[in-house]
Amino acid sequence: MKRLREWYHGLFHLAQVTIHDRWVKRLRLVAFLAASSIATQIVLRNFLGDVGLGYLLPSSVLTILVASAIWLVAYPAMWLRMLTVVVEMEAKKEYEALLHEIHKLHRHHHRDEKAARLSTTSLPATGRKV
């Protein structure tokens, strides 16, 4: 379980570090739109089929196949681009500095959450409104 958590955490950091790359943004959008199109077509097809109007979307299978092909290209391309960006950053030694900043932000975030929880739980319960 620890390895899986570390692997997922690494992917999360990879996504954070490369979030501002122009091609990563574009490929992420294309992959999201393709996945949304697939889901929408499946839901529409099932709904119209249940109502008896399944004939209204005769080409939905073709649409799903096209959207699936786009997703199968865009999603891996997005991850490849993210890895390329990290390799470029590593070559420039920026990756380690960014990763350090991300870790610092996470530590501050967790520290702030703990402080907020402590401050709200340690308040005495009084019947008066402030």
Structural domain count of the chain = 1
The per-residue pLDDT for 73 is 95
Does residue 77 sit within a domain? yes
Q: Classify residue 110: in a domain, yes or no.
A: yes
Q: pLDDT for 74-85, tens place per residue?
A: 999 999 999 998
Which residues span the domain enclosing 8?
Answer: 2-119
Residue with tokens 């991300």: 102
- CB atoms under 10 Å from CB of 31, counted, come to 20
**Whole-angstrom distance, CA of residue 32 vs CA of residue 38:** 10
Answer whether 70's CB lies under 8 Å from 30's CB. yes
Would you state the pLDDT for residue 90? 81
The pTM is what?
0.60
The count of residues in the chain is 130
Task: Give the model's confidence band at 130: pLDDT under 50 very low, under 70 low, under 90 confident, else very high.
Answer: very low
Structural domain includes residue 128:
no
Residue 129 lies in a domain: no
Q: What is the pLDDT of residue 28?
A: 93
For residue 127, tell me if it sits in a domain.
Answer: no
